[in-house]
Amino acid sequence: MTAFYLINLSVIMGVLALAMTLAFVRFALGPTLADRVVALDMMTIIGAGLLVVAGVVFGGPAFLDIALMLALIGFVSTAVFARYIERRHGP
Protein backbone atom coordinates (compact mmCIF):
# COMPACT_ATOMS: atom_id res chain seq x y z
CA MET A 1 0.00 0.00 0.00
CA THR A 2 1.12 3.49 -0.71
CA ALA A 3 1.57 6.13 1.98
CA PHE A 4 -1.32 8.18 0.58
CA TYR A 5 -3.62 5.15 0.82
CA LEU A 6 -2.63 4.48 4.42
CA ILE A 7 -3.09 8.14 5.37
CA ASN A 8 -6.59 8.14 3.88
CA LEU A 9 -7.51 4.96 5.75
CA SER A 10 -6.17 6.45 8.98
CA VAL A 11 -8.28 9.57 8.47
CA ILE A 12 -11.34 7.43 7.76
CA MET A 13 -10.77 5.40 10.93
CA GLY A 14 -10.36 8.62 12.93
CA VAL A 15 -13.60 10.07 11.59
CA LEU A 16 -15.44 6.83 12.31
CA ALA A 17 -14.01 6.76 15.84
CA LEU A 18 -15.22 10.34 16.38
CA ALA A 19 -18.66 9.39 15.05
CA MET A 20 -18.71 6.40 17.40
CA THR A 21 -17.89 8.67 20.33
CA LEU A 22 -20.65 11.12 19.43
CA ALA A 23 -23.14 8.27 18.99
CA PHE A 24 -22.18 6.91 22.40
CA VAL A 25 -22.77 10.34 23.94
CA ARG A 26 -26.25 10.38 22.38
CA PHE A 27 -26.80 6.84 23.66
CA ALA A 28 -25.82 7.84 27.19
CA LEU A 29 -27.69 11.15 27.28
CA GLY A 30 -30.67 10.36 25.05
CA PRO A 31 -33.81 11.59 26.75
CA THR A 32 -36.07 8.93 25.25
CA LEU A 33 -35.79 5.25 24.54
CA ALA A 34 -36.18 5.92 20.81
CA ASP A 35 -33.12 8.19 20.86
CA ARG A 36 -31.11 5.47 22.54
CA VAL A 37 -32.25 2.84 20.02
CA VAL A 38 -31.27 5.04 17.08
CA ALA A 39 -27.89 5.77 18.70
CA LEU A 40 -27.31 2.05 19.29
CA ASP A 41 -28.15 1.30 15.67
CA MET A 42 -25.79 4.03 14.55
CA MET A 43 -23.03 2.58 16.74
CA THR A 44 -23.46 -0.89 15.21
CA ILE A 45 -23.28 0.51 11.67
CA ILE A 46 -20.21 2.60 12.53
CA GLY A 47 -18.64 -0.48 14.12
CA ALA A 48 -19.29 -2.42 10.92
CA GLY A 49 -17.64 0.39 8.98
CA LEU A 50 -14.62 0.25 11.26
CA LEU A 51 -14.38 -3.49 10.70
CA VAL A 52 -14.52 -3.01 6.93
CA VAL A 53 -11.71 -0.45 7.06
CA ALA A 54 -9.69 -2.76 9.31
CA GLY A 55 -10.27 -5.56 6.81
CA VAL A 56 -8.87 -3.38 4.05
CA VAL A 57 -5.87 -2.34 6.14
CA PHE A 58 -4.97 -5.82 7.35
CA GLY A 59 -6.15 -7.69 4.27
CA GLY A 60 -8.31 -10.11 6.21
CA PRO A 61 -11.59 -11.33 4.76
CA ALA A 62 -12.72 -12.41 8.23
CA PHE A 63 -13.22 -8.74 9.15
CA LEU A 64 -15.71 -8.37 6.32
CA ASP A 65 -17.66 -11.44 7.44
CA ILE A 66 -17.84 -10.12 10.98
CA ALA A 67 -18.92 -6.69 9.70
CA LEU A 68 -21.71 -8.28 7.69
CA MET A 69 -22.95 -10.26 10.67
CA LEU A 70 -22.78 -7.17 12.91
CA ALA A 71 -24.84 -5.18 10.40
CA LEU A 72 -27.45 -7.95 10.19
CA ILE A 73 -27.69 -8.26 13.97
CA GLY A 74 -27.98 -4.48 14.25
CA PHE A 75 -30.82 -4.42 11.73
CA VAL A 76 -32.75 -7.17 13.49
CA SER A 77 -32.22 -5.65 16.93
CA THR A 78 -33.46 -2.26 15.71
CA ALA A 79 -36.61 -3.88 14.35
CA VAL A 80 -37.16 -5.68 17.67
CA PHE A 81 -36.63 -2.48 19.65
CA ALA A 82 -39.05 -0.62 17.37
CA ARG A 83 -41.67 -3.31 17.95
CA TYR A 84 -41.09 -3.06 21.70
CA ILE A 85 -41.45 0.73 21.69
CA GLU A 86 -44.62 0.46 19.59
CA ARG A 87 -46.21 -2.02 21.99
CA ARG A 88 -45.07 -0.11 25.06
CA HIS A 89 -46.39 3.29 24.01
CA GLY A 90 -49.23 2.22 21.72
CA PRO A 91 -50.00 3.42 18.19
Q: Is residue 91 within a helix (H) or strand (E), and if so which, with residue range?
A: none
Q: Which residues contact 40 (CB under 8 A, 6 or more apart)?
A: 27, 74, 77, 78, 81
Tell me the pTM: 0.86
What's the gap between Cα 89 and its chain centre?
A: 26
8-31, pLDDT tens digit by residue?
A: 999 999 999 999 999 999 999 989
The pLDDT assigned to 91 comes to 62
Cα diameter, the chain:
55
Helices (H) and strands (E) in the chain, counts: 3, 0
Q: What are the structural domains, with CATH classification, of the chain? A: 3-89 (1.10.287)
pLDDT digits (tens, 9 = 90+) for 69-87: 999 999 999 999 888 888 8
